[in-house]
Amino acid sequence: MALQIARRDVGSVTVLDLKGKLAGEAGLTLVDTVETLVQDGRQQVVLNLGEVSFVDSGSLGNLLSLRGAVVKQGGALKLSNVQARISDLLVATKLEMVFDTFESETDALKSFES
C-alpha cells in the first residue's frame, strides 16, 4: 500500500497520520510535506506511525534529515504510536537516541507543553 498522509492541526502542533509503507518515493513525499509545514511556520510536528507497516533505510535517513531541518528552524519532530517492529529498527540503528518517541499521540502532544 502506498503511503497516505493525513494532516491535522492540534493547537500549535501539526499531526501527520501516516498509513502504509514508508519507502522509496513515499519518503520523499513526506520530506516535501514536512518542509512545506516548516515554511508555513508549523515547526512542531508529530508523525503518527501507528499504521505504518514498513520503513526502509532510505526513509530512515529522510526522517533523520527532516528532524535536523525542523530543529534548525527552532521546532521539533516527534514520533508517536511507534509499533514494536519500527521501535526495534530505531534501536538497531541507534536512532532511538535521536528521536523523541511516544507510545501515544496524547503523550507526544503533551510533550510540547513542557
What's the number of domains the chain is made of? 1
Closest CA to 1 of 22, 17, 16: 22
Can you give the pLDDT at residue 28? 87
Quote the CA–CA distance of 65 and 20 in Å, as a whole number: 21
Cell of 83: 509499533
Which CATH number is 57's domain given? 3.30.750.24
Domain that holds residue 76: 4-111
Backbone angles phi, psi at 7, to 5 degrees: -105, 135
Q: Which residue has the cell 528552524?
A: 73
How large a percentage of the chain has pLDDT more than 70?
A: 98
Can you give the pLDDT at residue 112? 93
Residue 76 near residue 37 (C-beta atoms within 8 A): no
Quote the CA–CA distance of 70 and 75 in Å, as a whole number: 5
pLDDT tens, 46-75? 999 999 989 998 899 999 989 998 999 999
Identify the H or E element spanning 33: helix 25-39
